[in-house]
Amino acid sequence: MVDLHVKINDLELRNPVLTASGTFGYGLEFADFVPLDGLGGVIVKGTTLRAREGNDYPRMAETASGMLNCVGLQNKGVDYFRTQIYPRIKDIDTHMIVNVSGNSPEDYAECAARIDELDRIPAIELNISCPNVHQGGMAFGVTPEGASSVVRAVRARYHKTLIVKLSPNVTDIADIARACEAEGADSVSLINTLMGMAIDIERRRPVLSIATGGLSGPAVKPVALRMVYQVARAVKIPVIGLGGICTAEDAVEFLMAGATAIEIGTANFLDPAVTIKVRDGLGAWLEAHGCSSVSEIIGCLE
């Protein structure tokens, strides 16, 4: 048997396969297709301090080898999560990780502090691709200063494993990763979606209600892989890779580029059992290649 265990800070994962936020609900929705205790962890829907309606429809569009979305972080807020969702997911036998978003560093920190109190949530993932309301709506994650401001505020009030999810819509992602590491992030995950657009030429209008949206799926994989490769060389903390992963071979590429774990997003919409298939395929691939442990291929590029 191949040893698939990996560690993200103090968090021991039984295998490197995690779900990407916003594509796997709270895990429960997929329980008929996937034995949740077979995954390394489940990263749940984006959660904010207060409830959010999300953007108007249409919010999704299919593209060549991918999709665009502008869901806009629709959720019922952190207190609803604590009282209504947490009791239903807390006994799932895997790491349940909450993805946290906000409009200001204070928002993020308050939301994180309320999740810190929940015993069975061992980690959060900060989505820093959110607009900063105090600074003209520019996303926090696009400058080292913006990223630092969020991580610093959260680190002061959150005491468990802190993963920071990086935006790919930047000039130098390694700079942003270093800024997050310097403020005490335990890990970085990348990539979030790439800004994109689709146009309905008959109506002469954008397809999505707010014109632009985030591109995900196989179309983004080469970009994501390049960024994971760059970030893994820039920081000492573990890197979690994602963007277009659909198969075990895709996962192997990210691990070889330096990722300690991977997340699967858009592929869940095509095949709800893809996560467990990638886990099994990864084990089989390692065995066929004479590896006794997944750690043998992490960052193994010549």
Ligand X SMILES: Cc1cc2nc3c(=O)[nH]c(=O)nc-3n(C[C@H](O)[C@H](O)[C@H](O)COP(=O)(O)O)c2cc1C
Residue positions annotated with a catalytic role: 130
Task: Provide the minimum distance between the beta carbon of 130 and ligand X in the complex, in angstroms, as a whole number.
Answer: 9
Q: Is 22 in the site for ligand X (CB under 6 A)?
A: yes
Task: Provide the minimum distance between the beta carbon of 290 and ligand X in the complex, in angstroms, as a whole number.
Answer: 29
Residue bearing tokens 């009030």:
157
| Contact with ligand X (CB under 6 A) among 16, 40, 41, 46 | 46
**Coil, helix or strand at residue 15:** coil
The distance in angstroms from the start CA to the end CA of the chain is 26
- Sign of torsion, CA 89 192 211 219? negative
Return d(Cα 53, Cα 102) in angstroms, integer: 14
Q: Which stretch binds ligand X (CB under 6 A): 86-94, 172-180, 241-249, 254-262?
A: 241-249
Q: Which stretch binds ligand X (CB under 6 A): 21-29, 81-89, 178-186, 230-238?
A: 21-29
Task: Provide the minimum distance between the beta carbon of 221 and ligand X in the complex, in angstroms, as a whole number.
Answer: 7
**Coil, helix or strand at residue 240:** strand
Return d(Cα 61, Cα 70) in angstroms, integer: 9
Q: Which stretch binds ligand X (CB under 6 A): 15-23, 77-85, 90-98, 196-204?
A: 15-23
The residues in 184-213 that bind ligand X, with binding defined as CB under 6 A, are 192-193
Q: What single-letter amino acid sits at 71?
A: V
**CA distances (Å), origin 3, targets 47, 249, 282, 287:** 33, 17, 11, 10
Give the residue with the Cβ less far from ligand X, 55 or 135: 55
Q: Are strands 66-69 and 212-216 parallel, antiparallel or unpaired?
A: antiparallel
Q: Is 168 in the site for ligand X (CB under 6 A)?
A: no
Binding residues for ligand X, per CB under 6 A? 20-23, 45-46, 69, 71, 73, 99, 127, 165, 192-193, 216-217, 220, 242-245, 264-267
